Each structure stands twice: as C-alpha cells, then as structure tokens.
Structure 1
Amino acid sequence: MITRRISLRQIPDDSAVHTVTATFVYSPLRPLEVRLSLPGSVGLARTDWVFARDLLLSGVRGPTGVGAVSIWPGPGESGTHLYIALSDRDDCALFRTDRDELTVWLLRTLALVPRDQEACHLGVDELIDRLLAR
C-alpha cells in the first residue's frame, strides 16, 4: 500500500483559501482505484472519495473527469498546480495542490502496479478457478 499525505488548498466561493491535509491511498489489491480521504472540516458530507487511478494520471496532463470528480492542471506562482473538483448531490468543493508532489506519488503507484497490468492484480483468474471447482 502506498499512502501520501498532501496539502490541499480548498478554494471556496468567497475566494478565501483554506489549507487541509488529505491522504491519498493506493493498494495493489484494488489496482484500478485511488482513495482520497479528507478531513471533515472541508464541508463535504463525504470525506472518503474513491475514483480511478487513470483519472488522476490523466488529470496531471490535461482536463479530465465527468460527474463527481474532475481534475485539471493549471499554472501557479511556484510551478504547476493540480485542481481537483469533488461534487455529489448536495455538496461540491474545489481544491488546489502541487502537481509535482502528486505526480511523484503517482509514479510510485505505477512502479508497484504498472499501467495496463492492473488485471494481473485483481485475482479474477483465481476467483473463476474457485467458482468452477465447485
């Protein structure tokens, strides 16, 4: 499992900025997904968000996402930022973080489970074997 705590700057509607520490988690047991855990102080009903690792990988290069999670890179004062917009039926929030810091974490996930090799870690063959043995 690869875990990284990263500072996110929440950008509310009133242009005030609030910094929170979020935790990104990647597990080879669930190789297609990333878990983002936020503190309760961000004002969202949900504090745990699970979405495709590919969404995050694509978002560091260009705008991506439809629905609950959207990600896009943007310029910043000291480099390139990454914007993450989260929304559900009742709430939405926009966060900004350092793209390079998140990219380093993503590269670690790719070293553990390379892109297009996720199926090897799903255990589907073992499940089929067990089901057919019954």
Structure 2
Amino acid sequence: MSTVIEQAVEARLVASAPLLETVPATLHYDRADPFAVRIGFPAPATLEGADVSWAFSRDLLADGVEEPAGLGDVRVRPYGFDRTVLEFHAPEGIAVVHIRTGELRRFLDRAQTLVPSGSEHLHLDLDRDLTALLGDTR
C-alpha cells in the first residue's frame, strides 16, 4: 500500500477583481509526516513564478471544513454551501483560495484510511528525525 496520497484540486484564487481565477493545486499527505498535509501550487499560478508549497496540520484542515480554524499563517473556514476558504499569510501578503469542500473531505477521508486520527504517533520515526536534527555528530 502506498504511504503517500496526492490529489489534484481546482482552487479559485480570490483577487481584488470580482472574478475568481482558477489555479491548479495538489493536496499531499505522507504517512512519514502523519500530522501534516501540504498543498502545492505550480509556478505559473504564483506571483514568484516558482512552485510554492504550504504545510500545515491535518487537524487544521479537518476542523476548518466545519468551522473557522487557525490563527497563524494558515487559516481555514467554510464558505457557503460547498466551498472552503484557505488563507495563506506571508510577509509578501495574503493569498486566499476557495476549494470545493467535497474535494477536501475526500482527501481527508483517504488520509484517515491511511493513518487514522489518534494513531499518528505510531508512524513517526523518531530515530531518523533525531539524526536529521542533530546531523552527523561523530
């Protein structure tokens, strides 16, 4: 069984104009990093002209599809009947995207099947993480 889930989604970038620009995005979940999810945007969809990826808590995404969640760089909240808003706060500004709530729920269900909530600690490799943190100290 694969330890990684990727799902392409259609994100609507909210700009100052009344139209919403559609941009491709990819949701990513890896059992090796069981507490986190990532969303990536390809270079043509970003102001920097480079691929951009945001990592944040899987619980934040799960909570945010039901009610407003997050106080930091990433905030998630329901919007209307079938959309969820993701806000990404950076020194350069704020990016706001809308994603269909059903797509987010499908992604979260797949992640839940791979690593059930509450069992994330069973998938951590603390020895590997500690070695990476400390480097080669010999």
Normalised-by-shorter TM-score class? 0.7 to 0.9
Q: Which residue of 2 aligns with 1:22?
A: 25
The 3-state SS of whatever aligns with 1:65 is coil
Assess if the C-alpha contact under 8 Å between 2:14 and 2:95 holds in 1.
yes
Assess if the C-alpha contact under 8 Å between 2:24 and 2:45 holds in 1.
no
Counterpart-to-counterpart distance in 1, 2:117 and 2:83: 23
Change (3 A) 1:16 1:26: same
From 120, 123, 130, give the equivalent of 2:122. 120
How many residues end up aligned between the 2 structures?
A: 125
Q: Which stretch has the larger CA shift, 14-23 or 2-11? A: 14-23
Equivalent residues in 2 for 1:1-134 (5 A)? 1-45=4-48, 47-75=52-80, 79-124=81-126, 127=127
The 3-state SS of whatever aligns with 2:15 is coil
Assess if the C-alpha contact under 8 Å between 1:73 and 1:83 holds in 2.
yes
Assess if the C-alpha contact under 8 Å between 1:44 and 1:92 holds in 2.
no
Letter in 2 for 1:2: I
Percent identical among aligned pairs is: 29
User: Once superposed, which parts of structure 1, at least 4 consecutive aligned residues long, lie more than 6 Å away?
Assistant: none
Given the two structures, how large is their TM-score scaled by the length of structure 2? 0.83
The 3-state SS of whatever aligns with 1:24 is strand
Deviation at 1:104, TM superposition (A): 0.7
Letter in 1 for 2:41: L
Counterpart-to-counterpart distance in 2, 1:114 and 1:32: 11
Assess if the C-alpha contact under 8 Å between 1:10 and 1:42 holds in 2.
no
User: Per-residue CA shift, 1:48-84, capped at 9, x if unaligned?
Assistant: 1011111101111100011211100121xxx411111
Given the two structures, how large is their TM-score scaled by the length of structure 1? 0.85
The 3-state SS of whatever aligns with 1:111 is helix
Deviation at 1:40, TM superposition (A): 2.5
Any gaps of 5 or more consecutive residues in structure 1? none
Letter in 1 for 2:79: G
Change (3 A) 1:44 1:32: farther
Q: Which stretch has the larger CA shift, 9-18 or 29-38? A: 9-18
RMSD: 1.9
